[in-house]
């Protein structure tokens, strides 16, 4: 399949869910979809199109919490970036980790660093932060500020 | 100088500990043991267990999870023991000083006897640092 | 049979990511594995957002000491992808030379440590001795043994001096015979065949399911290499082939890495031959608003960086994904059903870094200490010795 065929195929299948398609360069395409649609768009790209899951990037933007799922179609050298925008007060999205092993860890990471809830995640434990890290403090949020009063931030010289 | 400390300096067994380092200092420490530098000539041996160690070689900027383990491990070393901080991270935390997960420097967690700066220090620098420390302790 | 829990970790000095593995065993067989990471989390993504685009190159260089070129390489490509723009030809060649030099030293490092855990300390010492020559090459080219600081958005920071090239090529030529000897010694050794073949198999289906990367996937028959799939640098201009094997066991992973070193040497030689004259830096004035993605093939697999700019001199989001993040979870598929004596080498096989032999302890369900790290390595060595004896190669 060529790049055009892939985009046409996705447009036909998920026309109602796709909000915007932006072809940045021949190798990079950004597709914005409705948050609930990731539950079927993600597995379709991974299983049916045979894409490799690169990673997902969670970002705290002024409009809300955004997740970019990066998939690579290696045969045609195309990176599909699926963008969803979540409400900042209650960022909830369906977990892909329950279906695709490769997504498991990054969802755990986004949960603790950005406070996104992944519904149905098989293993929602902490991944990177220590167990005594306070609940509700998310370091990658824009409003994060130092919470630890014992921290020393000077070099002592 | 105590007899124990004197015995320790004859053939110091080192134990190497990474507390959230980037791995470079760890590799360079290990490099000291391989044929080009070969510190085993001087009786310096990498110990497999913390309970056999005389000198602790610590690298990295002490993140929250490893700092706790570091304390536990330090309690298990037979005393007297020497602690050497390898790399800039152990001295000033380098570029990681503002990191949310690296709250305190190494010397606020355990006492440190010597620092070897560099990012990473070359094996020659690590050997020179350890030798200087041994000389200093030997003089009392 | 009663179950015992074996904690491995969290400290092991040889790795970029100290982890705590918890193996559940029934007798000698491993039935369950769990991992806890986070002992190395330094919040680099957040730190990078407080640094300018130029300074971030030095921050990402310190993510991992062994991959201290891969991360800056992926990062500068992500920044260049915001435009998107191309860098001057000479810079592309220099970048490729440094990246391949790093691949050789990283694979040698792995080979040595893998030998160490199998009880073949000869391999360990030989491989690390050879590695010193490569580090000398890197010191001549960049001024440092690790952390080369060669990369900058738009090009490279430092040119290769013409008088250094013959010295470097002579050094590389000098290691090839030893490397060939090492290759033949390892690939023909029946004891290593017996120890490594059929151990810790990652099937092709599992490799795809876990999105495994680099040598870990290529050993399982998944022909996946960013250098071929999405060429960057000058990988589309030099002649090299992707090494793919099909068995997915520890032996095949070793084969892939060993043969890749020879490809890398070939690439470095071709790059020096074809090194064009010209500028080494495109001179970026300012970064426009937008987002860019850079991914390159590090020694362990694809390194992925995502950078978002709002037009100021700092990134507002910088995402880093190292290859081990995807390769590490494959333990779930490879280690279950194997014996404890093989655990060390299986954990080592994906080159996550290394199993923490120093801090390994086997406890039975009452918490009594049965084996410590040294005893486990002894166990592994004893198995090698037994095999040797059985094969009449004492």
Final residue belonging to a domain, choices C325, C351, C371 = C325
Among chain C residues, the shortest Cα distance to A58 is held by C319
The answer to whether residues A92 and A105 touch, using CB atoms and an 8 Å cutoff, is: no
Question: Which residues 6+ apart lie within 8 Å of C111 measured at CB?
Answer: C123, C127, C182, C186, C254, C257, C258
Cα–Cα distance, C261 to C254 (Å, whole number): 11
Does C131 share its domain with C36? no
Among chain B residues, the shortest Cα distance to C356 is held by B48
Chain C contact probe: residue of A63, A70, A76, A102 with most C CBs at under 10 A = A102
Secondary structure of residue C15 in the 3-state scheme: coil
Per-residue model confidence as pLDDT tens digits over C270-322 = 999 999 999 999 888 888 999 999 999 998 888 999 999 998 888 889 988 88
Q: What is the per-residue pLDDT for C24?
A: 82
Q: Please give the residue that has the higher pLDDT: either A39 or C189.
A: A39
Least confident of B26-40, C38-52, C266-280, C367-381: C367-381
Q: What is the per-residue pLDDT for C159?
A: 92
Say whether the peptide bond before residue B62 is cis (omega within 30 degrees of 0).
Answer: no
User: What angle, rounded to 10 degrees, do the helices at C89-118 and C373-390 form?
Assistant: 80
Edge-to-edge strands, sheet with C20-26: C3-8, C20-26, C29-36
Q: What is the per-residue pLDDT for C352?
A: 60
A41: pLDDT confidence band, cut at 50, 70 and 90?
Answer: very high
Contact (CB<8Å) A151/B104: yes
Chains in touch with B (3+ beta-carbon pairs under 8 Å) read A, C
Does C241 share its domain with C253? yes
Q: Domain of C333: which CATH number?
A: 3.30.390
Q: At residue C325, does pLDDT exceed 50?
A: yes
Contact (CB<8Å) A74/C229: yes
**Average pLDDT for C112-134:** 85
Contact (CB<8Å) B68/A156: no
Token code pair at residue A69: 């799922």
Does C35 share its domain with C58? no
A144 touches B: beta carbon within 8 Å: yes
Choose the closest CB to A152 out of B64, B65, B105: B105
Q: How many CB atoms lie within 10 A of CB A6?
A: 18
Q: What is the per-residue pLDDT for C9?
A: 65
Q: What is the per-residue pLDDT for C12?
A: 53
C-alpha angle C122-C128-C130 in degrees, rounded to nearest 5: 100
Contact (CB<8Å) B101/A151: no
Q: At residue A119, does pLDDT exceed 50?
A: yes
Chains in touch with C (3+ beta-carbon pairs under 8 Å) read A, B
Is the CATH number of domain B3-138 3.10.20.30? no
**Average pLDDT for A47-63:** 91
Among chain B residues, the shortest Cα distance to A151 is held by B103
Question: Which residues 6+ apart lie within 8 Å of C201 measured at CB?
Answer: C247, C248, C249, C334
Contact (CB<8Å) C304/A106: no
C375: pLDDT confidence band, cut at 50, 70 and 90?
Answer: low
Contacts with C374 from chain B: Cβ below 8 Å: 48-49
Final residue belonging to a domain, choices C285, C302, C325 = C325
Q: Please give the residue that has the higher pLDDT: either C90 or C391.
A: C90
**Average pLDDT for C199-221:** 90
Residue-by-residue DSSP string for C43-80? -HHHHHHTSBHHHHHHHHHTS-STTTTHHHHHHHHHHH
Contact (CB<8Å) B108/A152: yes
**Average pLDDT for B111-127:** 91
Residue boundaries of the structural domains of chain A: 3-88
| Closest CA of chain B from A141, distance in Å | 12
Contacts with C145 from chain B: Cβ below 8 Å: 28, 120, 122
Q: What is the per-residue pLDDT for B62?
A: 86
Residues on B contacting C at a C-beta cutoff of 8 Å: 15-31, 34-36, 48-50, 60-61, 63, 65-66, 69, 73, 94-96, 98-102, 119-120, 122
C327: pLDDT confidence band, cut at 50, 70 and 90?
Answer: confident
Token code pair at residue C36: 């806890």
**Average pLDDT for A103-107:** 89
Q: At residue C371, does pLDDT exceed 60?
A: no
Q: Please give the residue that has the higher pLDDT: either B4 or C104.
A: C104
Does C250 share its domain with C376? no
Secondary structure of residue A43 in the 3-state scheme: helix
Nearest in space to A53 (alpha carbons), one of C217, C100, C23, C18: C217
Helices marked H in chain C? 44-49, 53-61, 70-82, 89-118, 121-142, 164-187, 190-196, 204-209, 214-218, 226-229, 250-274, 323-327, 331-334, 340-349, 373-390
Does C25 share its domain with C130? no
The number of distinct structural domains making up chain C is 2
Residue boundaries of the structural domains of chain B: 3-138
Q: Note the maximum CA span of chain B.
A: 44
Contacts with C324 from chain B: Cβ below 8 Å: none
Q: At residue A23, does pLDDT exceed 70?
A: yes
The answer to whether residues C157 and C149 touch, using CB atoms and an 8 Å cutoff, is: yes
Contact (CB<8Å) B34/C68: no
Q: At residue C359, does pLDDT exceed 50?
A: no
Contact (CB<8Å) C62/B48: no
| pTM (two decimals) | 0.90
C357: pLDDT confidence band, cut at 50, 70 and 90?
Answer: very low
The answer to whether residues C155 and C93 touch, using CB atoms and an 8 Å cutoff, is: no
Token code pair at residue C255: 């084969």
Contacts with C208 from chain A: Cβ below 8 Å: 52
Cα–Cα distance, A36 to C263 (Å, whole number): 46
Does C50 share its domain with C31? no
Residue range of the domain that includes C21: 3-40+327-390
Contacts with A129 from chain B: Cβ below 8 Å: 64, 101
Contact (CB<8Å) C129/B34: yes
Query: In the predicted model, what is the mean pLDDT of chain C?
Result: 83
Range ranked top by mean pLDDT from B37-51, B63-77, C19-33, C155-169:
C155-169
Among chain B residues, the shortest Cα distance to C44 is held by B99
The single-letter DSSP state of residue B48 is S
Q: At residue C388, does pLDDT exceed 80?
A: no
Contact (CB<8Å) C41/B35: no
Q: At residue C387, does pLDDT exceed 60?
A: yes
A93: pLDDT confidence band, cut at 50, 70 and 90?
Answer: very high
Cα–Cα distance, C252 to C216 (Å, whole number): 9
Q: How many CB atoms lie within 10 A of CB C31?
A: 14
Choose the closest CB to A52 out of C81, C211, C321: C211
Least confident of A1-10, C117-126, C157-166, C355-364: C355-364
H or E, element range at A4: helix A3-14
The answer to whether residues C64 and C109 touch, using CB atoms and an 8 Å cutoff, is: no
C376: pLDDT confidence band, cut at 50, 70 and 90?
Answer: low
Does C228 share its domain with C312? yes
Q: What is the per-residue pLDDT for A157?
A: 65
C379: pLDDT confidence band, cut at 50, 70 and 90?
Answer: low
Chains in touch with A (3+ beta-carbon pairs under 8 Å) read B, C
Nearest in space to A108 (alpha carbons), one of C48, C325, C303, C75: C325
Contacts with B68 from chain A: Cβ below 8 Å: 130
Superfamily of domain A3-88: NADH:ubiquinone oxidoreductase Nqo5 subunit (3.30.460.80)
The answer to whether residues C306 and C74 touch, using CB atoms and an 8 Å cutoff, is: no
Token code pair at residue B28: 């360079």
Nearest in space to C334 (alpha carbons), one of C347, C322, C353: C347
Contact (CB<8Å) B92/A148: no
Q: Note the maximum CA span of chain C.
A: 70
Least confident of A43-47, C176-180, C320-324: C320-324
Please report the residues numbered 10 through 39 in chain A whose beta carbons come closer than 8 angstroms to any beta carbon of chain C.
24-25, 27-28, 30
Contact (CB<8Å) A153/B92: no
Contacts with A139 from chain B: Cβ below 8 Å: 100-101
A153 touches B: beta carbon within 8 Å: yes
Q: What is the CA radius of gyration of chain B?
A: 14
Q: What is the per-residue pLDDT for C354?
A: 32
**Average pLDDT for B5-9:** 75
Nearest in space to C198 (alpha carbons), one of C247, C158, C161, C239: C247
Does C157 share its domain with C203? yes
Final residue belonging to a domain, choices C275, C295, C325 = C325
**Average pLDDT for B102-121:** 90
Among chain A residues, the shortest Cα distance to C290 is held by A24
Least confident of B48-57, B96-105, C353-362: C353-362
Does C32 share its domain with C163? no
B65 touches A: beta carbon within 8 Å: yes
Does C314 share its domain with C293? yes
**Average pLDDT for B11-24:** 83
């Amino acid at each position: 399949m060529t790049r055009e065929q892939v985009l046409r195929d996705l447009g036909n299948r998920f026309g109602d869910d796709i909000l915007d398609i932006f072809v940045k360069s021949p190798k990079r395409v950004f597709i914005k979809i409705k948050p609930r649609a990731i539950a079927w768009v993600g597995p379709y790209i991974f299983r049916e199109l045979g894409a490799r899951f690169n990673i997902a990037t969670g970002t705290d933007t002024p409009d809300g919490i955004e997740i970019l799922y990066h998939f690579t179609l290696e045969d045609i050298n195309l990176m599909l970036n699926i963008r969803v925008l979540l409400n900042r007060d209650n960022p909830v999205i369906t977990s892909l980790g329950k279906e695709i092993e490769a997504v498991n860890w990054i969802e755990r990471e986004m949960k603790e660093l950005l406070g996104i809830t992944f519904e149905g995640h098989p293993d929602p434990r902490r991944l990177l932060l220590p167990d005594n890290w306070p609940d509700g403090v998310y370091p990658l949020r824009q409003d994060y500020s130092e919470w630890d009063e014992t921290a020393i931030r000077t070099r002592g010289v | 100088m105590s007899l124990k400390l004197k015995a320790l300096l004859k053939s110091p067994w080192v134990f190497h500990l990474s507390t959230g380092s980037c791995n470079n200092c760890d590799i360079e420490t290990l490099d000291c043991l391989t044929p080009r530098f070969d510190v085993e000539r001087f009786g310096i041996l990498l110990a497999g267990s913390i309970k056999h160690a005389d000198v602790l070689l610590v690298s990295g900027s002490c993140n929250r999870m490893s700092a706790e383990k570091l304390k536990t491990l330090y309690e298990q070393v037979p005393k007297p023991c020497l602690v050497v901080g390898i790399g800039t991270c152990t001295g000033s935390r380098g570029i990681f000083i503002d990191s949310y997960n690296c709250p305190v420097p190494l010397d606020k967690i355990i006492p440190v006897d010597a620092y070897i700066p560099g990012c990473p220090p070359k094996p020659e620098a690590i050997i020179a640092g350890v030798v200087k420390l041994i000389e200093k302790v030997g003089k009392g | 049979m009663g179950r015992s829990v074996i904690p491995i970790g969290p400290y092991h000095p040889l790795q970029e990511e100290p982890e705590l593995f918890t193996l559940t065993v029934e007798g000698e067989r491993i039935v369950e594995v769990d991992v806890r990471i986070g002992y190395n989390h330094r919040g680099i993504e957040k730190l990078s957002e407080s640094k300018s685009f130029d300074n971030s190159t030095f921050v990402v260089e310190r993510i991992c000491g062994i991959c201290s070129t891969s991360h800056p390489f992926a990062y500068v490509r992500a920044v260049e992808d915001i435009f998107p723009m191309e860098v001057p030809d000479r810079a592309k060649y220099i970048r490729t030379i440094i990246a391949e030099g790093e691949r050789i030293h990283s694979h040698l490092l792995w080979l040595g440590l893998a030998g160490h855990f199998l009880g073949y300390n000869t391999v360990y010492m030989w491989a690390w001795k050879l590695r010193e020559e490569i580090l000398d090459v890197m010191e001549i080219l960049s001024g440092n043994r690790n952390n080369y600081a060669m990369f900058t958005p738009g090009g490279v920071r430092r040119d290769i001096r013409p008088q250094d090239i013959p010295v470097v090529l002579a050094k590389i030529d000098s290691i090839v015979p030893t490397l060939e000897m090492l290759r033949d010694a390892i690939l023909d050794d029946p004891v290593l065949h017996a120890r490594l073949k059929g151990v810790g198999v990652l099937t092709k289906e599992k490799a795809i399911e876990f999105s495994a990367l680099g040598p870990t996937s290529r050993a399982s028959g998944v022909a996946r290499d960013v250098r071929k799939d999405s060429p960057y640098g000058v990988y589309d201009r030099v002649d090299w082939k992707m090494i793919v094997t099909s068995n997915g066991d520890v032996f095949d992973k070793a084969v892939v890495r060993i043969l890749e070193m020879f490809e890398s040497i070939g690439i470095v030689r071709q790059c020096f031959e074809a090194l064009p004259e010209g500028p080494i830096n495109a001179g970026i004035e300012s970064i426009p608003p937008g987002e860019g993605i850079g991914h390159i093939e590090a020694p362990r697999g694809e390194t992925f960086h995502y950078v978002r700019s709002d037009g100021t001199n700092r990134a507002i989001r910088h995402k880093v994904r190292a290859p081990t993040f995807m390769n590490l979870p494959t333990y779930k598929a490879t280690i279950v059903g194997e014996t404890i004596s093989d655990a060390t080498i299986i954990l080592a096989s994906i080159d996550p870094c290394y199993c923490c032999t120093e801090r390994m302890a086997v406890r039975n369900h009452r918490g009594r200490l049965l084996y410590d790290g040294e005893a486990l390595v002894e166990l592994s060595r004893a198995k090698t010795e037994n095999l040797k004896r059985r094969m009449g190669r004492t």
